[in-house]
Amino acid sequence: MHRRYYKFNKPYGYLSQFSNEVKWKGLSQILNLPKDVYGVGRLDAESEGLLLLTNDTSINQRLLLPKNKHERCYYVQVDGKITEEAIAQLAKSVTIKVSKKAYYTLPAKASICAQPDFIWDRVPPIRIRKSIPTSWLKLILIEGKNRQVRKMTAAVGFPTLRLVRFSIEQLSLAHLKPGEIKEYDESEFKKMLHL
């Protein structure tokens, strides 16, 4: 089997899988890849940014187990002017629901930031309410529960409006526009992911 390794900038409105679902389109609508290639991890349809694609089944487990401490960096636009207290709470731990049970998130790196320079206009744009400001934060996690970032920001009182995964370890969205894909050879891909 010829192993394939890609990074992809997933646009808003697409699933992390190739098949369509009722409301959302699958990646097969914009990518034409070998049938055995699949997404590593997930970004929900409303989230954007870095998605890894491969047919190397060893990658998934090595990358997604929290004990391996692989860092994932997200830029998050939230509703309201986020406070230092909320940032401190996100960094320490918050309680979210995972499979209907309380889950305490692992410590994270969290900071308030300006809107990133690389960010593109989202289609469709987020809803804007002139009376309520928005803020951006940078969040680095070593775990990836279902809709974790959205649940975390909601838990501290600042719902997520826009979520962009920028990087996993040293593999980032740099120079990749929404819908663009880049293929890597195995050694470079694994080196950048610290595998």
165 forms beta bridges with 49, 74
Is 117 exposed, middle or buried, given 0-12, 13-18 or 19+ CB atoms closer than 10 A?
Answer: exposed
d(CA 107, CA 140): 9
Name which of 104, 105, 107, 49 is nearest 73 in CA terms: 49
* Whether 81 contacts 133, CB under 8 Å: yes
162: amino acid identity, one letter = R
- Residue 36 annotated as catalytic: no
Q: Say which of 44, 79, 117, 185 is annotated catalytic.
A: 44
d(CA 144, CA 71): 10
42 forms beta bridges with none
**Known catalytic residues?**
44
